[in-house]
């Protein structure tokens, strides 16, 4: 009996730890969403599951956010902030006349001299773009979005695990995944996410439907 108790004790402890982490995730109000569409590749892939947290402050440049649009919800990246002059020329982002690095962006136009976006933002407006520029319906098509349109912040992808890239040093260390991905751990290693994720479209230029 003592041997059995010694064997069962670690398993029981693991169950308690997992239960505690589930409670922590729920208290943090993380909502699981299932990605559909190509417009945020390579950051987010179709079929990936992401954890979305509430908006507690104004979004930063580079954050990936969940937007409410008239036709659907979609995920995009914030590249322009209130009051800024934002241009996208030859696939390169400029803010107030200065270039902004976008290590996450792919699918830029091959032609030169193409001005895809040129806008001065109001006090409550943002410019949002998809990372896969050739497959995204974003502010180039529907213009700036309002701050109130941002209804969530994408915190991390939990399956397959992946860091959501922002063009700035991270506030917390990134831990390497054995398969090459890197995982952000908002509550601690191996934080479980509630099942039953709903599907979220990314806004894809090719399909014009949630994709």
Active site residues: 39, 76
Taking only Cα atoms into account, the Rg of the chain, rounded to an integer number of angstroms, comes to 20
Q: Quick one: tokens of 29? A: 């109000």
Strand spans (E) along the chain: 31-36, 49-53, 64-68, 73-80, 85-89, 92-95, 98-100, 115-120, 125-129, 145-146, 150-159, 161-162, 175-176, 182-183, 198-201
Counting every residue written for the chain, the total comes to 211
Nearest residue to 32 (alpha-carbon basis) of 197, 201, 199:
197
In this structure, the number of other CB atoms found within 10 A of the CB of residue 168 comes to 11
How far CA 154 is from CA of 47, 64, 91, 99, 123, in Å, comes to 15, 6, 24, 25, 23
């Amino acid at each position: 009996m003592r041997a059995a108790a010694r064997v069962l004790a670690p398993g029981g402890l693991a169950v308690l730890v997992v239960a505690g982490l589930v409670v922590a995730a729920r208290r943090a109000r993380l909502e699981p969403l299932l990605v559909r569409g190509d417009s945020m590749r390579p950051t987010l892939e179709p079929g990936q599951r992401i954890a979305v947290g509430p908006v507690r402050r104004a979004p930063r440049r580079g954050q990936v956010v969940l937007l409410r649009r008239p036709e659907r919800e979609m995920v995009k990246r914030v590249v322009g902030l209130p009051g800024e002059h934002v241009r996208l020329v030859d696939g390169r982002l400029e803010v107030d006349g200065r270039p902004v690095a976008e290590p996450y962006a792919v699918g830029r136009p091959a032609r030169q001299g193409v001005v895809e976006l040129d806008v001065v933002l109001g006090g409550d407006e943002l410019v949002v773009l998809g990372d896969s520029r050739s497959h995204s319906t974003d502010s180039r098509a529907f213009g700036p979005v309002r701050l109130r349109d941002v209804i969530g912040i994408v915190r991390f992808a939990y399956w397959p695990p992946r860091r959501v890239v922002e063009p700035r040093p991270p506030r917390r260390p990134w831990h390497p995944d054995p398969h090459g991905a890197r995982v952000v751990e908002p509550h601690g290693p191996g934080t479980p996410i509630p099942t039953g994720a709903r599907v979220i479209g990314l806004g894809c230029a090719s399909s014009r439907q949630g994709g």
